[in-house]
Amino acid sequence: MDREVFLKEIDWPEIGTATPLPEPSIEEIESRICRCRRMMRERNLTHLVVYGDREHFANLMYLTHFDPRFEEAILILNQSETPLILVGNECVGHLTVSPLYNAEKLRYERYQPLSLLGQPRNDSRPLDAIFKSEGIDRNSQIGCIGWKYFTDKEFVDYHLRIEIPAYITDTLRAICGHTNVVNASDIFMSPSYGLRVKCSPYEIAVFEFANVMASEGMKNLLKNLRTGITDFELIKEYQYTGYPLNCHIGIKSSGNQHIGLSGPVGAEIRRGDPCSTNIGYWGSNICRAGWVAESEDDLPEKAKGYIDNYVAAYFRVCAKWFENMKIGTKGKVFRELIDKYLPFDKFAVFLNPGHLIHMDEWLSSPIYAGSEEKIQSGMYMQVDIIVRSPNYFSTRMEDGIVIADNALRSQLRELYPNVYKRCIIRREFMIQQLGFTLPEEVLPLSNTTGIIAPFFLDYKKIMSFKP
C-alpha cells in the first residue's frame, strides 16, 4: 500500500461519445419476465404485484420498459397470462414507451385513484375487483415488489413487512389473508441473486451510454470551473441533455457546505473553498470532490498537506479496491480494506465502499462488514468510497464499472463492438497512464474512471502512481 503517488499533469483522455440505444427488444424483456416467473414458481407465488412511482420506477421498468410519470402504476403478473398494468389518467398516453405494450403483450386498465388529486375518478373499477378478475383469491400467494426489502435485523416477521402503499397491501390481504401477502422485492434487488444484479449486454450498453454522457458533462464542468460565478451558472457546464436523472444534480460550494446532498443554491464559487458535485442520468452517477484551488497554496491552513496526508491514501486504496474487484471476491474484503487503510477517525467512511447500481442510483450492495456475498459476472458496480474530514473536506472518484467474465465480454464485443472498444481504451488509460492494476473482468463504463483531480482550478493535474 506504499506505492508512490504524485500529481501528474496530463490531458484527460478523449475516448469519444456514445449513441443512444433503441428500446429493448421484446426478446430482452420477455427473457426478464421468464426469469422472474421461474423465481415465482420456486417460491410458490401465484402473483407478483409490482408498484412503481416517479422515484421508485426501476423494478417496474425492468419488466415493462415503462416508467410512471406524475402518477404511480401497478403491474400484476401471474405465472402464465399476459401481464396487466394499472395506470392513471395521464400515464395512459405514456404506455407506448413500452415495447411490450406496443407488441400487445401488456394489457392495461385505467385505475384513476393513481391519478393526481382533483382529476376525474368516475371511470375505474374498484381495486379489489381488479385483483379478483386477475385470479387473486383466498388460495393465492402474492409477492409485493416495491423498492426495498427487509431482513431479520429489522423485523422478526420481515417477509410480512411491505413498503408499498397500504391501500394496495390492505386490499390484497382482505382478499387473500394477511400471511399470504409477502415482501418479494429481493427477487429483483438481492445482491446475491436479484434479477437486476446481473446485466445483459444490452443493459451494459445502455449504462455505458449514460456513463459517457454524465462523465463528459463532468469533464466539461471541471474544464470550465472558475471563480466569481454562481453554482447555478457552473451547473450549466454539465450541458444537461434532458435524459432522465436518477438523483438530483448536486453541488456543494460556499453557500451550502453544511447541507448534505444539496443542489445549487445560487452561491458563489470562491477560491479556497471545498467543492463537490455530481450528475446522475438513469444508469449512472458521476461525482467528484476537491477544492476550488490551483494548488495547496490556495487552501486554508488546516487543509495543508491535503495531497500527502489525504488524497494519496485515498488513491492507493482505490487502486487496491480495483485490484480486488474479481469474480468470487467476498464483499467483506472491500470493507476490511477500507477499515485497515482508511481509518474511520481520519476518513469517516460510513456507507458501503461500493454498491450495485442500475437504472436507479443504488440497487443494493454485496459490500459490507462480514459480507460473504461474492462479486459475480454481470454486476454493475459503482466505485463509491465516500471519505470526509473536518480539515481536508473530501476527495472522490465515483464512476461505474461492470464485472464481466470471458463469455460476457465476448457477447458484448460481438453485439456492441464500439462499447467494448471504449471500455478497453479506458482500461489502457488507467493501466498505462495512471498505474492501476486491473483484473481482466473489470470494464470501466465512464470516460473519467480512475481520474482524481484534487484541485478543480487546475483539473489537468490528476493523481497517478509513479512508474
In this predicted model, what pLDDT tens digit does every residue of 69-88 receive, in sequence order?
A: 999 999 999 999 999 999 99
Mean pLDDT of 50-66: 98
Q: What is the pLDDT of residue 200?
A: 98
Which of the pair, 467 or 418, is modelled with greater confidence? 418
CATH code of the domain made up of 44-183: 3.40.350
Phi, psi angle pair for 62, to nearest 5°: -60, -40
Mean pLDDT of 449-466: 98
Phi, psi angle pair for 50, to nearest 5°: -105, 120
Residue 339 scores a pLDDT above 60:
yes
pLDDT tens digit string along 395-414? 999 999 999 999 999 999 99
Sheet containing 73-78: order of strands: 107-110, 84-87, 73-78, 47-52, 142-145, 181-183
pLDDT tens digit string along 267-298? 999 999 999 999 999 999 999 999 999 999 99
Which of the pair, 334 or 257, is modelled with greater confidence? 334
Distance of CA 406 to the CA centre of its chain: 24
Q: What is the pLDDT of residue 2?
A: 77
Q: Which three cell numbers stand for residue 359?
A: 437504472
Q: Do domains 5-18+200-465 and 44-183 have the same CATH topology?
A: no
Nearest to 281 by CA among 236, 239, 246: 246
Residue type, 170: D
Q: What is the pLDDT of residue 265?
A: 97
Phi, psi angle pair for 388, to nearest 5°: -145, 145
Residue 370 scores a pLDDT above 60:
yes
Q: Which three cell numbers stand for residue 448?
A: 473519467
Q: Which residues contact 420 (CB under 8 A, 6 or more apart)?
A: 409, 412, 413, 443
Q: Can you list the alpha helix ranges (DSSP code H) found in 177-237?
A: 186-189, 201-223, 231-235
The domain limits of the chain are 5-18+200-465, 44-183
Give CA–CA dist 462/57, Å, rounded: 37
392, 309 contact by CB (below 8 A)? yes
Nearest to 272 by CA among 251, 293, 297: 293
What does the mean pLDDT of the chain come to? 97
Sheet containing 286-291: order of strands: 250-252, 274-279, 286-291
Strand 84-87 and strand 107-110: pairing?
Answer: parallel
Give the burial string for 414-447 (b: 16+ CB within 10 Å, else e). Answer: eebeebbebbebbbebbeebbbbebeebbbbbbb
Q: What is the pLDDT of residue 423?
A: 98
Work out the angle at residue 66's Cα, subtended by the Cα atoms of residues 250 and 59, and round it to the nearest 5 degrees.
70
Give CA–CA dist 261/258, Å, rounded: 10
Give CA–CA dist 443/423, Å, rounded: 6
pLDDT tens digit string along 86-106? 999 999 999 999 999 999 999
Phi, psi angle pair for 358, to nearest 5°: -150, -140
Q: What is the pLDDT of residue 1?
A: 53
429, 13 contact by CB (below 8 A)? yes
User: Collapsing DSSP states into helix, strand and coil, what is residue 24?
Assistant: coil
Would the pTM of this model clear 0.95, i.e. be above it?
Answer: yes
The superfamily CATH assigns to domain 5-18+200-465 is Creatinase/methionine aminopeptidase superfamily (3.90.230.10)
Residue 205 scores a pLDDT above 60:
yes
303, 391 contact by CB (below 8 A)? yes
Residue 204 scores a pLDDT above 90:
yes
Residue type, 80: S
